[in-house]
Chains A and B, each alone.
Chain A
Amino acid sequence: VSPPRGLPVWWLCPDEAAGAGLLDALSLDARRRREGLSIIDSVGTGISNLSVAENILLPSAWHASTEALRPEVLRWLSGYYTEPALKTFLAARSSGLSSRERQRQAVARAIQSDARCVLFDDDSHAHERWIDEWRAAIETGLPDARIQAVSVRRPSSPERWCLRAACEHRTAA
């Protein structure tokens, strides 16, 4: 399903299960198209027993045997941390981070994978301010990425999204 140019897609799902199913389908689509993919959810899920650096590196190490973090990732993270603080952040266990730090880790993972498809999993039912913030970061760091959000509610600023129903994806597929 190709979204209209310029606006990211907001997929509206009837319930949580449909949202999870749609995320599976969208990630499968991206993999079939061999696009780099990254998923960012409200709690910034990562592998809890890995360090932040390992979490950021994992998808690209898996798919492309990458050994080190890209300079773009370090540059983006250095906007939030001083050099010693960045070292501490990268060495920290993912399980010990706050939600916000984990979201940052997920955005860094998207930049590391040079993702062409970024999926926001809006599973928190809270205000989507976090999506707006990270959407801006993705649009700056990955200008070619297609951004899509999956949610059970409508966005509070619908003019900034191309609203679609989950069933449209099934029909197109």
Chain B
Amino acid sequence: LVWSIWRHLRTTALRTVYLRQLYFSGAQSTWLVVLSGASLAVVLNALIRQQYGRSSEFTLHLLASIGLEYIAPVFLSLLVIARSASAIASELAAMQVNGEIRLLRRHGISPYEYLVAPRVVGLIAGCVLLFGFFALGALFTGALLATPLHPLATLERLAVTQGLGPVRAGLLRCAMFGTVIGLTASLLGLNAPRLTTEIPRAASRAVVMSLLLVLLANAVAAFA
């Protein structure tokens, strides 16, 4: 599979499939995710300052540890499930209904390599990319709320004290959730029966199943 992906990335006509997926699942949601990260920082800051009387700098530390490691991957997964899982499943189910999958098979093109692999790789890359933007939005807003005049200096101090542990853990979770969502949505869409009525059913099944599997994977990852 890795060889096949590498071969496709080197061919212009096939590379576009990967780039399109990365664009739709990652780049298109950038601003939404940056704003969500900023809003999480504002909410956490307000809650912890008002209810527990702790400083904004403490909130920033909390945001960098718990926020990035636990909240961000689940939140981003929900966003990706809502935007991409249903779209992927319904697109592949429609391709099945229109006979496009059968055409690919008859031409000797594996739908798993041509359709599923780019979507999974695109979703993994998209989730990782979105995590970066979410972290950027959350941490910068948190730092701005803690020290409005020197946010960058506060972020530097935070990087020294916290290290890269939470970011690494968050990235790993995002990659894992991206794989789960990509595989679930693609396989449910690809294996949908050849009936028009199955297209919305495939989309809805993909959303529910991806959600369940992500929550399950999150619970398993919490123990790991």
Tell me how many residue pairs across A and B have CB atoms closer than 8 Å: 58
| A47 interface residue (CB < 8 Å to B) | yes
| A88 interface residue (CB < 8 Å to B) | no
- Are A65 and B109 closer than 8 Å at their CB atoms? no
- Distance, CA A10 to CA B37, complexed state (A): 63
Check A37/B108 contact, CB under 8 A, given A54-B13, A67-B12: yes
Check A65/B99 contact, CB under 8 A, given A23-B106, A37-B107, A59-B107: no
Q: B16 — nearest CB in chain A belongs to which residue?
A: A54
| B7 interface residue (CB < 8 Å to A) | yes
| A24 interface residue (CB < 8 Å to B) | yes
Q: Per a CB cutoff under 8 Å, which of B95, B106, B109 touches A48?
A: B95
- Are B100 and A48 closer than 8 Å at their CB atoms? yes
- Are A24 and B106 closer than 8 Å at their CB atoms? yes
List residues of chain B with CB within 8 A of the CB of A41. Answer: 99
B interface residues, how many (CB within 8 angstroms): 22
- Distance, CA A59 to CA B107, complexed state (A): 7
- Are B98 and A31 closer than 8 Å at their CB atoms? no
| A145 interface residue (CB < 8 Å to B) | no
- Are B13 and A67 closer than 8 Å at their CB atoms? yes
| B11 interface residue (CB < 8 Å to A) | yes
Give the residues from 60 to 118 in chain B that come closer than 8 angstroms, CB to CB, to chain A: 91, 94-95, 98-100, 102-109, 114
List residues of chain A with CB within 8 A of the CB of B99. Answer: 41, 45
- Are B106 and A45 closer than 8 Å at their CB atoms? no
- Are A63 and B13 closer than 8 Å at their CB atoms? no
Q: Could you list which residues of chain B lie within 8 angstroms of chain A, going by C-beta atoms?
A: 7, 10-14, 16, 91, 94-95, 98-100, 102-109, 114
Q: Could you list which residues of chain A lie within 8 angstroms of chain B, going by C-beta atoms?
A: 20, 23-24, 27, 31, 37-39, 41, 45-49, 54, 57-59, 61-63, 65-67
